[in-house]
Amino acid sequence: MKRVQYLYYVIPALVLVSVVLFYPLGYALYYSLFSYTLGAVPEFVGLRNYLRVLLDPGFRHSLLLSLYFTIGVVSLQFLLGLLLALLLDKIAVGKRFFSVVLFIPVMITPAATGLIFRWMFVPQWGIINQVLQGLSIHPPDWFSSPFWALVSVMIAEVWQFTPLVAIVLFAGLQSIPGESLDAAKVDGASGVQLLWSILLPLLRPLILFVLVMRTMDAWRLFDRIFVMTAGGPGTATETVTLYNFRTTFQLLRVGEGLAVGVWTLISLLGVMVIYLRLMFRDTTAS
């Protein structure tokens, strides 16, 4: 069989991807150049939608919120996930049991976890405020304070996807040969030193992989926030995706909504480029 012939096997997948991803992408790019309100005749306006969106304080507010949300959530997920991975690596019996138990939240429908957390944060009957009161802490009014509403959606995101980070890092820890640790132990390195100078450098590719996955998903998160707060109170939890949804499907400004989507794509490309550069540095250094 000639080498090129192997590519025939790729055709079904490529056709699917082209028809269902590339064609709509072209459609989206094309109509992002139009002033297009649903139900009206589209009118060509060039790049005006892109500018208009950038000048909209609502959009800039949502970008800032997404930034806070993503940075806060991803760093917490990484720290907690690393701690969990080290704990799983440390124990002798039950690694498998705890990995399976911990992985359950990751697989559950985000819209469903949004509902669960909305009930848990409800002021009067919510279990979280009952616990806080039991500990004599005055509970905040989660969904009427802009700050605490953002905190509540962040807690839900940390709850759902910290185990993913933990399990991926745990798999990495398990693949590190024991000898490289033993040698350092003989040299009298402490636990923290081992972690900092041996484990983390060895895990670097996996850490980068999981961080970029989490960053992109947090940046694009829609369903759980939409179900929990719908962007409220006011626009206190309206991240870029929720802003995009409101522009398109509630204000029916399709052209501007598409422009917001393209800005999102560009920002994700930026994240990807940073990630690739870090990976590249990784391979040239070693």
Partner 1 sequence: MSRRFEYGKTGLSYAALVLFSMFFLFPLIHVLLISLKSPVDAFAVPTKWLFVPTFEHHRHLWLEKGFARYLFNSLAIGFGTVCISVPAATLAAYGLVRHGGKLSSAILFILLSLRMFPPMLLVIPYFLIARQLHLYDTRSVMILVMVAFNQPFAIWLMRGFMLNVPKELDEAAIIDGCGPVTLVSRVIVPVMLPGMVTTAIFSFLLAYNDYLFALVLTGTHAKTLPVAIGEYGAENILYWSLSAAGVCGVILPVVVIMIFLQRGFVKGLTAGAIK
How far is 134 from 128, CA to CA, in rounded Å?
10
The separation between CA 172 and the C-alpha centre of its own chain, rounded to angstroms, equals 21
Say which residues have a Cβ less than 8 Å from residue 139's Cβ, sequence separation at least 6: 123, 128, 129, 132, 133
12 binds partner 1 (CB under 8 A): yes
x-or-dash string of contact with partner 1, 33-72, rule CB under 8 A:
----------------------------------------
Burial status of residue 165 (CB atoms within 10 A of its CB: 0-12, 13-18, 19 or more): buried
Return the number of other C-beta atoms located less than 10 Å from residue 152's C-beta.
23
The residue among 72 and 80 lying less far from partner 1, judged by its C-beta, is: 80
CB-based burial, 99-110: b 16+ in 10 Å, e otherwise: beebeeeeeeeb
For residues 175-214, which are near partner 1 according to CB under 8 A? 175, 178, 181-182, 185, 189, 191-192, 194, 205-206, 209-210
Q: Kindly state the number of chain residues that form the binding site for partner 1, as judged by CB under 8 A.
A: 104
Please report how close the Cβ of residue 188 comes to partner 1 at its closest, in angstroms: 11
Please report how close the Cβ of residue 280 comes to partner 1 at its closest, in angstroms: 13
Among 53, 85, 153, 227, the residue binding partner 1 under the rule CB under 8 A is 227
The residue among 3 and 138 lying less far from partner 1, judged by its C-beta, is: 3
How far is 55 from 42, CA to CA, in rounded Å?
22
For residues 68-127, which are near partner 1 according to CB under 8 A? 84, 86-92, 94, 96, 98-105, 107-120, 122, 124-125, 127
138 binds partner 1 (CB under 8 A): no
The residue among 75 and 130 lying less far from partner 1, judged by its C-beta, is: 130
245 binds partner 1 (CB under 8 A): yes
Please report how close the Cβ of residue 159 comes to partner 1 at its closest, in angstroms: 7
132 binds partner 1 (CB under 8 A): no
139 binds partner 1 (CB under 8 A): no
Please report how close the Cβ of residue 161 comes to partner 1 at its closest, in angstroms: 11
9 binds partner 1 (CB under 8 A): yes
The answer to whether the CB of 50 falls within 8 A of the CB of 31 is: no
How far is 144 from 232, CA to CA, in rounded Å?
8
Please report how close the Cβ of residue 67 comes to partner 1 at its closest, in angstroms: 16
The residue among 137 and 269 lying less far from partner 1, judged by its C-beta, is: 269
The residue among 70 and 244 lying less far from partner 1, judged by its C-beta, is: 244
- Token pair, residue 74, equals 């991803």
For residues 253-282, which are near partner 1 according to CB under 8 A? 254, 257-258, 260-262, 264-265, 268-269, 271-272
- Token pair, residue 42, equals 């589209």
231 binds partner 1 (CB under 8 A): no
Please report how close the Cβ of residue 243 comes to partner 1 at its closest, in angstroms: 10
